């Protein structure tokens, strides 16, 4: 199909200093969990985006010196010739598709703990980052940089830029954002110096100007020089000669850079989850930049709508449409728009599972796109599939995330697929969860897959069709996939950190009961030791319905694992706004329908409070009775011509939605396939 003319502006080339981006789609630097130890994984990951039409494809943060050591979190480096070779794999791969390759040179300053290098962190004034989360805490405090340290930093930046040019990069960054070293010089809260690098905004931007200057000297006219800068805090500070210090900083730095890459100051606002921020949430902070500079500006905002992208350009907010999460959810987003297939875009849902990959130190994952990070390891491509090995048909029982993903992938391979679900609507757990506060966007997981399935003539969909054993034996499908999900249990939490037996008392409920429409009598205690989003979301949901709600958890924070997805502070604010009282490091030790007894998880100290309903959000168990009944009837399966019965998703092992989608995709990719790595290829340094 032809491209819709109203999107033509997105495909205009843009000059960035000495280089030209072929279009306005710019994959900004973002963490991927891929270090120099995974050079082939990284190169294939980035290449897929270039193949998909992103005109610029950048690395994540790349350390310029061992004093910028973020271990055990994954980070890349450009310290020596070996690093140059590793990065050259990526630039060569990106260039094969006509895209530009960018590198985000990075020094973490006081935020990095240098756990491996054991060098004291550097900072403008010796102030440490006092993280509230254990994974970022450390005992090593930074030292104050003197002039010799500043000269050394400039030398490291220049050396990193020369290596970047040697590795084939087209755009070389100075990174002055997210609390890292150049950013620490920009803010008076961090920078308390009394020399030419401190005090006025002119002095506080001096280091960034000097870093840009040495970068340009190092790369010459071969590469563009880009500045990535966080503006949230500076925008909040009144300027002496302009509306804010952000305005002044952009004006002071404009002559020194070829491109401004503008962003927020902290992960929860910069990579804001869809639960708490809409598409384009950065605009109120960054909209002024193009009014101050003539240089091209790129920014992000979880852009998924082509019309919204065009609006950003037409209204003068951005010159280039930055994408991190949308480029992960659909590496072929630009090409689909270019080919008039924008209705096929696999939209980012803003769940931030991709962010959690970096915190976990593993290659990036995505709820929407199970192929991401698997391009080299498992040979998965988001748009290409091994053709069907036979004319076999597959019956999938269950139309939740795992079943729908399995069906889409099998259908794209060419198999005949039937999906049956007992519920009147497909979606599985998402039928309920998308009705919880802020989670409606997650419905794209179901909507995209149903759209794909309904457009194919080798797919049959049967909602409202409960399947029993005899139905399956008479179904005339040689392969059956059980994707019936899981059920929440009423197990409580023991001091051994394992669940105890089911607490089968009146007025004890699970999320399945709430999903069925139950509104418990208050006061309600939501007891959460699942620790992801659902416990907090249910507590907020019940409070909005008018219930008096308390929330108790065995962890040190509400919905503690949402720290990994940048949601944690926002969850606490939402619960506070809803009037939900939070009880941390507590477990339920008794409940009689009138009072609940909770005990400190460490001391065992107990107390009681009024409670009429207890909602337990803790352990899920597979809903796999149908599978177990089937495999016990081996003779009947043979007589019915059924060659395989398989479990996928939560019916196999309960997990997050990302796990269910990956499980369904993996089965469908490997079904009747001879090319399956076991379990995946291991990468190696070059």
Which one of 173, 180, 493, 533 is the catalytic residue?
Answer: 180
What pLDDT sits at residue 59?
96
The CATH code belonging to domain 393-485+623-670 is 3.40.50.720
Does residue 322 surpass a pLDDT of 90?
Answer: yes
What pLDDT sits at residue 63?
98
Domain span(s) for CATH 3.40.50.720 in the chain = 393-485+623-670
- CB 615, CB 509: distance < 8 Å: yes
For residues 260-269, average pLDDT: 94
Q: What would the two tokens of residue 487 be?
A: 């059920």
Question: Which string of DSSP letters, residue by residue, matches 352-371?
Answer: -HHHHHHHHTSS---SS-TT
Strand duo 508-509 + 613-617: pairing: parallel
Q: Which of 9-23, 51-65, 120-134 has the lowest mean pLDDT?
A: 120-134
Q: What would the two tokens of residue 556 be?
A: 């040190």
Q: For residues 246-270, b (16+ Cβ closer than 10 Å) or e, as one string?
A: bbbbbbbbeebbbbbbbbbbbbbbb
pLDDT band of 674, cuts 50, 70, 90 = confident
For residues 438-463, average pLDDT: 98
For residues 391-397, average pLDDT: 97
Question: pTM of the prediction?
Answer: 0.96
Query: Pick from 77, 106, 277, 237: which is nearest to 177 by CA?
Result: 106
Q: What would the two tokens of residue 187 be?
A: 């803010």
Q: What percent of the chain lies above the pLDDT cut of 90?
A: 94
Does residue 132 surpass a pLDDT of 90?
Answer: no
Does residue 675 surpass a pLDDT of 90?
Answer: no
Rounded Cα distance, 464 and 461, in Å: 10
Rounded Cα distance, 378 and 80, in Å: 30
What digits encode the pLDDT tens for the residues 210-260? 999 999 999 999 999 999 999 999 999 999 999 999 999 999 999 999 999
CATH topology of domain 5-350: TIM Barrel (3.20.20)
Q: Answer with the residue of higher pLDDT: 131 or 151.
A: 151
What digits encode the pLDDT tens for the residues 568-588? 999 999 999 999 999 999 999
Does residue 138 surpass a pLDDT of 90?
Answer: no
What pLDDT sits at residue 507?
96
Rounded Cα distance, 570 and 477, in Å: 47
DSSP conformational letter for 4: P
Domain span(s) for CATH 3.20.20.70 in the chain = 5-350
**CB under 8 Å to 249, separation ≥6 — which residues?**
186, 201, 205, 229, 231, 234
Cβ neighbours of 133 (radius 10 Å): 13
What pLDDT sits at residue 135?
81
What digits encode the pLDDT tens for the residues 525-554? 999 999 999 999 999 999 999 999 999 999
- CB 460, CB 426: distance < 8 Å: no
What digits encode the pLDDT tens for the residues 399-437? 999 999 999 999 999 999 999 999 999 999 999 999 999
Domain span(s) for CATH 3.50.50.60 in the chain = 489-621
What pLDDT sits at residue 677?
66
What pLDDT sits at residue 139?
87
- CB 171, CB 259: distance < 8 Å: yes
What pLDDT sits at residue 543?
98
Helix (H, G, I), strand (E, B) or coil at 184: helix
Q: What would the two tokens of residue 413 be?
A: 């391979």
Q: Domain 489-621, CATH 3.50.50.60 — does that match? A: yes
Rounded Cα distance, 370 and 405, in Å: 9
Does residue 522 surpass a pLDDT of 70?
Answer: yes
In angstroms, what is the C-alpha Rg of the chain?
Answer: 27
Does residue 617 surpass a pLDDT of 90?
Answer: yes
* Residue 415 appears among annotated catalytic residues: no
For residues 585-599, average pLDDT: 96
Task: Give the mean pLDDT of the chain.
Answer: 96
- CB 80, CB 685: distance < 8 Å: no
């Amino acid at each position: 199909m032809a491209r819709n003319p109203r999107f033509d502006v997105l495909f205009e080339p843009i000059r960035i200093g000495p280089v030209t981006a072929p279009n306005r789609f710019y994959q900004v630097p973002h963490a991927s969990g891929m270090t120099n130890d995974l050079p082939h994984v990284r190169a294939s990951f980035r290449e897929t985006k270039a193949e998909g039409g992103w005109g610029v494809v950048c690395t994540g943060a790349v350390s310029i010196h061992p004093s910028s050591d973020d271990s055990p979190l994954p980070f890349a480096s450009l310290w020596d010739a070996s690093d140059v070779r590793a990065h050259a794999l990526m630039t060569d791969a990106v260039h094969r598709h006509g895209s530009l390759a960018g590198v985000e040179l990075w020094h973490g300053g006081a935020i990095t703990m240098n756990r491996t290098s054991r060098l004291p962190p550097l900072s403008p004034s010796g102030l440490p980052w006092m993280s509230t989360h254990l994974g970022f805490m450390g005992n090593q405090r930074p030292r104050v940089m003197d002039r010799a340290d500043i000269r050394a930093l400039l030398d490291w930046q220049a050396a990193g830029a020369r290596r970047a040019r040697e590795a084939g990069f087209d755009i070389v960054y100075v990174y002055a954002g997210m609390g890292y070293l150049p950013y620490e010089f920009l803010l008076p809260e961090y920078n308390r110096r009394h020399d030419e690098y401190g005090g006025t905004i002119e002095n506080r931007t001096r280091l960034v100007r000097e870093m840009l200057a040495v970068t340009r000297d190092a790369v010459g006219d071969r590469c563009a020089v880009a500045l990535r800068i966080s503006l949230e805090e500076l925008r909040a500070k009144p300027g002496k000669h302009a509306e804010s210090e952000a305005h002044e900083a952009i004006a002071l730095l404009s002559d020194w850079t070829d491109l401004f890459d503008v962003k927020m100051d902290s992960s929860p606002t910069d990579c804001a989850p869809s639960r708490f921020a809409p598409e384009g949430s950065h605009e109120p902070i960054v909209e002024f930049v193009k009014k101050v500079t003539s240089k091209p500006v790129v920014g992000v905002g979880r852009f998924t709508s082509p019309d919204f992208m065009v609006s950003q350009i037409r209204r003068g907010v951005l010159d280039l449409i930055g994408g991190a999460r949308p480029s992960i959810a659909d590496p072929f987003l630009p090409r689909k728009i270019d080919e008039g297939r924008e209705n096929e875009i696999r939209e980012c849902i803003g769940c931030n599972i991709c962010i959690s990959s970096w915190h976990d130190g593993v290659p990036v994952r995505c709820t929407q796109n199970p192929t991401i990070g698997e391009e080299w390891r498992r040979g998965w491509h988001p748009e290409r599939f091994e053709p069907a090995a036979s004319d076999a048909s597959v019956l999938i029982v269950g139309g939740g995330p795992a079943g729908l993903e399995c069906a889409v992938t099998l259908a794209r391979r060419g198999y005949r697929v039937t999906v049956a679900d007992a519920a009147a609507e497909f979606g599985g757990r998402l039928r309920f969860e998308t009705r919880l506060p802020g989670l409606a966007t997650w419905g794209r997981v179901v909507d995209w897959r149903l759209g794909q399935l309904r457009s194919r003539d080798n797919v049959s969909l049967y909602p409202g069709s409960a399947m029993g054993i005899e139905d399956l034996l008479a179904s005339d499908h040689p392969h059956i996939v059980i994707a019936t999900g899981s059920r929440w249990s009423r197990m409580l939490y023991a001091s051994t950190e394992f669940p105890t037996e089911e607490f089968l008392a009146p007025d004890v409920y699970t999320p399945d009961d709430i999903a069925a429409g139950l509104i418990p009598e208050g006061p309600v205690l939501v007891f959460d030791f699942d620790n992801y989003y659902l416990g907090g979301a249910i507590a907020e949901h019940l409070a909005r319905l008018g219930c008096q709600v308390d929330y108790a958890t065995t962890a040190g924070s509400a919905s503690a694992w949402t720290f990994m997805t940048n949601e944690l502070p926002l969850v606490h604010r939402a619960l506070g706004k809803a009037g939900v009282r939070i009880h941390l490091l507590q477990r339920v030790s008794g409940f009689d329908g009138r009072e609940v007894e909770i005990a400190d998880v460490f001391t065992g100290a107990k107390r009681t409070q009024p409670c009429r309903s207890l909602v337990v959000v803790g352990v899920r168990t597979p809903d796999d009775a149908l599978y177990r009944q089937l495999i016990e009837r081996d003779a009947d399966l043979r007589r019915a011509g059924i060659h395989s019965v398989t479990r996928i998703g939560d019916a196999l092992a309960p997990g997050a939605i990302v796990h269910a989608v990956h499980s369904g995709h993996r089965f469908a990719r490997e079904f009747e396939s001879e090319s399956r790595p076991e379990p995946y290829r291991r990468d190696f340094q070059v």
